[in-house]
Structure 1
């Protein structure tokens, strides 16, 4: 709420700086008359079946989003967006806040909060955003919004983008609070790995240059000061504070897409744990008659120190990496190697996806297990903006001491106005 009030105050202060002559040239009423409402509703059924003592989870939730995107006045605009997540039917699942610990986990707690509330300024050489906002950098491997979950992850802070040259984008963001998927509220059932709000002081630096269609170069440094969260429930607070520096190359050559990436992670801020781990990615894709084929190899390094000192991505949109069953949201202490292959294809007016993952430890290449993921999305005939989705993930464990056989099924309807 503090960031929301600051955003509205910033808009008022900025407006007073324009001269009377400027006001005559562009109508302040454009902020309202050229604005548009935001309406989005997403119903989801999620079933989780795990080969352990937990009862199967069956969750029905509805995420409703309403808001308003203003028009522009001399580059200034604003946005306000409120989300409500409501349970439908029985609470036969553990949402991390409802105390249903005998069930498998479905992280979609009930609640209502401001998802975004911001002021934005656009210029021909860039833009600036102040307030509660969505931040998705590159492929969201390190910084993202976790939009798959019903309560999206958003950021309180300020972001600036400069585009001084064609193809060059420089991004800097300062963040002092992260509104996580576990919110909007803490309670007696949460723990130090899943706070509703992550407090601290973080700096996100990203420089991307599109050299040519065949090559885009991205360099980044993410300095995460995360004060009130830990890598495990028994680890010290602040143990996820880190400095990640990396370089990514990607492009399309003769119909083949590729991505190569390397990053190094060190401890940062007041992290009481010494971190020193690495990240690697090599990916190759090809599109043939509308079918997108892709395979890759991703490594998040482990560490032989005490506790879990592996390469972590606490602010990533993790669901789109390392399998939809979400078995590796926290990188295990021995690290992880993920070899994957799959495709996306048009089918009967919809989109079909299929993926296979093989997981091993990074330190000694022992097998964790493998996973198969399938999904099909299709617009619902006769209702503009309504899309249906069926999705399935099946993880088979080869290391029952650290992972568990897991099947997940999702059925979803989403309407966007």
Structure 2
């Protein structure tokens, strides 16, 4: 009920701002259409999956009037054919493609901006840092957005502070929960979450970040049969990143504890070491990311339930839930300009953080570029191939995408 009130305030204020003094020329219509073909094949009992889907986004962003601005946008996801399990259609014999169909308000907020920074109230997109812990999951057709309020402060040119209160998460599994949903894929997750984030640019070539994310996810569970609330947690961390000439680096460390009534006692660690090197327009990157195992019965490993997970640990999405023994991901990648676009290639090697063994490895390849002759139109071809070394934990998987997107 409280989130309906917050969303209602956002919608009412958005209408008020649009109706009072904001000229149409000052605003901007939102029109974004994304077609995607996705093919998933796994070496298990599930039949392969194919989906043709279109995400259409319509909306309007006002101009700024007296420091106030507003935005409203609606998304619709439609299926053009295929055979798949989208978690809502009951086709459990097929591989998963998590893009259910339907329409919903994606964003509806009002913002006040001033010398202090800004305050945004309503349903909104929240992407913090590199989205490893909190993001919009923009890769999926139904974006993840948040009902709440976000305060962003800029007390100095080199210092940025933000605080967000979230009362509801509108997940990628929406817009409807449906009869086939479980505790790991509800359309909406209620609870009280508090996000604190600080970014300090000490010099033009070095910055430090500190964060504390306290997640109350009352309707979410770590497994379909687990108790709800088992992904509620408090994550506290530091991130340092810098650059020296053509070399850049990232060092990050975080701890995770249970919070907000989680029935599991959590105590796990996260660390990231990453180095990049650029020469001319070619970019090389290598790193190690470890999501640690926990102690005790059940899965108490380090989890990132609100992250844009597709951007991490390989595009095959084999580790959306961190296994109980944790994940040690060692990777190397290259980005090369080619034919007016960008070619990317990545290799990952996955091992358990605890107990030894080897999960497997993955190779990813993609090519993206604007389509000549049509402003705003872009194309993408993408492939991910995961090879399992432990069939008791993971299976071989191949995924292929073709995408066209037009944004006005």
Normalising by the smaller structure, the TM-score range is over 0.9
Match of 2:406, SS?
strand
The 1:103–1:13 alpha-carbon spacing in structure 2 relative to 1, beyond 3 Å, is closer
Q: Deviations over 1:333-366 (max 9, x none)?
A: 0000000000111101011000000000001331
1:19-98 equivalences in 2 (<5 Å): 28-30=20-22, 32-90=24-82, 92-98=83-89
- The offset of 1:122, in angstroms, is 1.1
Whether 2:341 is the aligned partner of 1:350: answer yes
Taking the aligned partners of 2:5 and 2:248, their CA distance within structure 1 comes to 43
Consecutive unaligned residues in structure 2, runs of 5 or more: none
Counterpart-to-counterpart distance in 1, 2:15 and 2:170: 25
SS of alignment partner, residue 296 of structure 2: coil
Contact 1:31 1:72 in 2 (8 A): no
Alignment of 1:396-415 (within 5 A): 396-415=387-406
1:385 pairs with 355, 369, 376, which one?
376
Identify unmatched segments of 5+ residues in structure 1. 16-26
Q: Deviations over 1:211-268 (max 9, x none)?
A: 1122110000000000011001121110000000000000211221110000000000
Instruction: For 1:205-354, list aligned pairs within 5 A.
Output: 205-354=196-345
- Report the Cα distance in structure 1 between the residues aligned to 2:375 and 2:297, rounded to whole angstroms: 54
CA 1:89–1:265 in structure 2 vs 1: closer, same or farther (change >3 Å)?
A: same
CA distance in structure 2 between the partners assigned to 1:42 and 1:208 by the alignment? 33
- In the other structure, the counterpart of 2:8 is 5
Q: Distance in 2 between matches of 1:412 and 1:12?
A: 34
Please point out which of 366, 374, 387 is paired with 2:357: 366
Q: In 2, Cα distance between the equivalents of 1:87 and 1:153?
A: 19
Deviation sequence 1:12-46 (CA, Å, 0-9, x none) = 7899xxxxxxxxxxx94225330010000000000
Secondary structure in structure 1 of the residue aligned to 2:295: coil
Distance 2:72 2:255 in 1: 37
1:147 matches 2:150:
no
User: Are the counterparts in 2 of residues 142 and 316 from structure 1 also a CA contact under 8 Å?
Assistant: yes
Q: In structure 1, what is the equivalent of residue 116 of structure 2? A: 125
- Native 8 Å contact 1:304 1:334 kept in 2: no
**What CA distance in whole angstroms lies between the structure 2 residues aligned with 1:125 and 1:290?**
37
Checking the alignment, whether the CA contact within 8 Å between 1:31 and 1:77 is kept in structure 2 is no
State the shift of 1:185 in Å: 0.4
Distance 1:97 1:8 in 2: 29
Equivalent position of 1:18 in the other structure = none
Give the number of aligned pairs: 405
Counterpart of 1:23?
A: none
When residues 274 and 68 of structure 1 are mapped into structure 2, their CA distance, relative to the original with a 3 A threshold, is same
| Preserved contact between residue 126 and residue 145 of structure 2 (Cα < 8 Å) | yes
3-state SS in 1 of match to 2:10: helix
What is the Cα-based RMSD across aligned positions, in Å?
Answer: 1.4
